[in-house]
Amino acid sequence: MLHALHIKNVVLIEQLSLDFSTGLSALTGETGAGKSILLDSLGLALGSRAEASLVRRGADQASVTVEFSIESEHPVWDVLKEQGIDCDGALILRRVLGSDGRSRAFVNDESVSVGFLKSLGETLVDIHGQFETYGLLNPSTHRSVLDCYAGNSSFVSDVSDCFRKWRDAEARLVDARALVDRAMENEVYLRDCVEELKTLSPEEGEELSLVDKKKRIQHVDALRECFSFVGESLGGEQGADIQIGQAWRMLERNLDKIGMDISDLLGDLGAASDSIQQACRKLDHLVSTLDIGDLNAEDIEDRLYSLRAVARKHHCAVDDLPRLLDEMSGKLDMLDHQGDVIQKLEREVQEFKEKYRGCAEILHEKRQKAAQQLDKIINSELKPLKLDKSVFETSIEIFASERSWGAQGFDDVRFLVATNASSEGAPDFGALNKIASGGEMARFMLALKVVLADSALHTGVFVFDEIDTGIGGATASAVGERLAKLALRHQVMVVTHSPQVAAQASHHWVVSKAEGVTHVVPLSGGARQEEIARMLAGAEVTVEARAAASRLLNVG
């Protein structure tokens, strides 16, 4: 929802703040009062093109700020997330334009590019005539709009899932074919490498193990001498264990002569004997590690040299050689069984393609059925809007090229219109923004948005200008009624010269100009009735015009 618009030093506006509410808001006023400046200012804050002429004469810069509150499911959250901008639901867009024509853009006081500001603006507000490639005027959105109207989300999801599986299978097939091609180009080299690696039979961790053995071999004689000496000192004929035993027995034989309790001393000697025996067992284990079998230093050095030479050849670590053998063996296996592998992948591609086609055909049928209903309803809206010679049609064609098929199906959906339909010959359909005038296009947009309002994914802000061009009376009333209907679900603003349209609004501002400055004043009660009467009568407001205004407001 748009909450506020703040304008400073834009053309005829010195400083102006407008607060908005839900429902339909109307801006009226005499020609030249500055209504278009309000739309230009709003467009500037939403990322439209900036021109130095918008800066008020004598001012260094102009600025426009718009404030929004954003509902949780609004797509603008995704746009903000991509840019890394924090938002707690309150969103403030600001544009500053210098007199030299340069501008700066801000979102929640963070500096952003004007392009990003425009992408936000297009998501937040639909200003008729401002963003002609956005929304319903952009054919690329028509398919998703139709799906939203038809409630096709589950069918689109099925198609998207099948499409992803189909494309993934195609990617696997392409990779497999490329792998086979590369392997065939180097088949002789590949077979030689595999044979060499198999003969070498490398093991993970082997290099570190060999280096460790090499170190131990270099010191094995010195270690044997060391361990022998320690073993003899601990458990030999004159070792510590024998001598402790002798000491224990000597004390025990002389217990009666000692004449005191020496059990603690005897216990300590027993414990010392146990510790020495445990140390001997650990020493025996160390001695066993010196057994390196038949390997000698020369054998280990040769093995290390072979492993490292092959690793250098393949530009990898020695520990990567087992993995390299598996990879190369797999490539050879692919070559030897390439026909079976490729055929299996081709079958998978065809299988997923057929599943995709089946889901896409179901979605196609759903779209056709919804399109017929949509065309009927929209065409029923055109006559009251003085578009009785116009026909709306939803065109659905299947893309001829499979490369154009995608996650949303294989349908090319376009909203077309013929403004010269008659009983003679087939209507000449074309794109809405190519064949309709400004006023016609605005009324077409109104008819579309009223019909699609209930199926919209989120509430939006719609701004209409020139919608009452060339109409009056019952047609203007019909326009006003539809704007009010649209405003039941969306926030709608209309710049209008039609009293019938203005009378339907929940909120009414009048735009005026005095001494070269534009002013905007909210109207209610008698002041609003007087403005409606002015719109009916012109310069001189009559009693009859006031009575007619009263009737319109009662109806509105």
> Average pLDDT for residues 473-497, to the nearest whole number?
89
**Cα separation, 45 vs 92, whole angstroms:** 10
Q: Read off the pLDDT of residues 28-79 as tens digits, 9 standing for 90 and up.
A: 988 777 888 888 899 899 988 888 999 999 899 999 999 998 877 777 887 7
The residue ranges of DSSP E strands in 386-541, in sequence order, are 391-398, 411-418, 430-431, 461-465, 491-495, 507-514, 517-523
Q: pTM score, two decimals?
A: 0.63
The residue ranges of DSSP E strands in 399-469, in sequence order, are 411-418, 430-431, 461-465
**Cα separation, 48 vs 36, whole angstroms:** 14
Angle at 107 between CA 80 and CA 134, to 5 degrees: 65
Q: Read off the pLDDT of residues 159-180 as tens digits, 9 standing for 90 and up.
A: 999 999 999 999 999 988 888 7
Confidence of residue 476 (pLDDT cuts 50, 70, 90): confident
State the pLDDT at residue 294: 58
Q: Is the pLDDT of residue 372 over 90?
A: yes
For residues 494 and 503, the answer to whether their CB atoms sit within 8 Å is no
Q: Is the pLDDT of residue 132 over 60?
A: no
b or e along 89-120 (b: 16 or more beta carbons within 10 Å of the residue's beta carbon)? eebbbbbbbebeeebbbbbeeeebebebbbbb
The H-or-E segment that residue 2 falls in is strand 2-10
Confidence of residue 252 (pLDDT cuts 50, 70, 90): confident
Q: What are the tokens at 511?
A: 């735009």
Among 118-127, 289-298, 437-446, the range of highest mean pLDDT: 118-127
For residues 479 and 467, the answer to whether their CB atoms sit within 8 Å is yes
For residues 44 and 54, the answer to whether their CB atoms sit within 8 Å is yes
Q: Read off the pLDDT of residues 388-402 as tens digits, 9 standing for 90 and up.
A: 888 899 999 999 998
**Helices (H), ranges, 294-337:** 297-313, 321-336
State the pLDDT at residue 347: 94
509: helix, strand or coil: strand
Q: Read off the pLDDT of residues 354-371 as tens digits, 9 standing for 90 and up.
A: 999 999 999 999 999 999
Contacts of 83 (CB under 8 A, 6+ apart): 107, 112, 116
Name the residue type at position 285: H
Question: For strand 90-98 and strand 61-69, is the pairing parallel, antiparallel, or unpaired?
Answer: antiparallel
Confidence of residue 407 (pLDDT cuts 50, 70, 90): very high
> Average pLDDT for residues 336-361, to the nearest whole number?
90
State the pLDDT at residue 77: 81
Residue 68, judged by CB atoms within 10 A of its CB (0-12, 13-18, 19+), counts as: buried
Q: Read off the pLDDT of residues 449-470 as tens digits, 9 standing for 90 and up.
A: 888 877 765 667 888 887 887 7
Q: Which of 49-58, 87-96, 213-222, 291-300 has the lowest mean pLDDT?
A: 291-300
State the pLDDT at residue 131: 45
State the pLDDT at residue 130: 47
Q: Is the pLDDT of residue 113 over 50?
A: yes
State the pLDDT at residue 556: 46
Confidence of residue 241 (pLDDT cuts 50, 70, 90): confident
41 beta partners: none
State the pLDDT at residue 25: 92
Question: Across the beta sheet with 90-98, what order do the strands follow?
Answer: 13-19, 2-10, 61-69, 90-98, 103-107, 110-112
Q: What are the tokens at 156?
A: 């689109």
Q: Is the pLDDT of residue 288 over 60?
A: yes
Return contacts of 405-409, CB within 8 angstroms, 24+ apart: 405/163, 405/356, 405/360, 406/163, 407/159, 407/160, 407/163, 407/164, 408/143, 408/144, 408/147, 408/156, 408/159, 408/160, 409/143, 409/156, 409/159, 409/360, 409/363, 409/364, 409/367
Q: Residue 468, Cα to own-chain centre: how many angstroms?
A: 40
State the pLDDT at residue 133: 43
Q: What is the DSSP code string of 91-159?
A: EEEEEEEETTS-EEEEETTEEE-HHHHHHHHHHHEEETTT-TTSGGGSGGGHHHHHHHHHT-HHHHHHH
For residues 64 and 44, the answer to whether their CB atoms sit within 8 Å is yes
Nearest to 42 by CA among 7, 86, 3, 90: 7
Q: Is the pLDDT of residue 521 over 80?
A: yes
Among 179-193, 391-405, 467-481, the range of highest mean pLDDT: 391-405
Q: How many CB atoms lie within 10 A of CB 71?
A: 11
State the pLDDT at residue 83: 76
For residues 214 and 297, the answer to whether their CB atoms sit within 8 Å is yes
What angle in degrees, to the nearest 10, is found between the helix axes of 263-289 and 220-235? Answer: 160
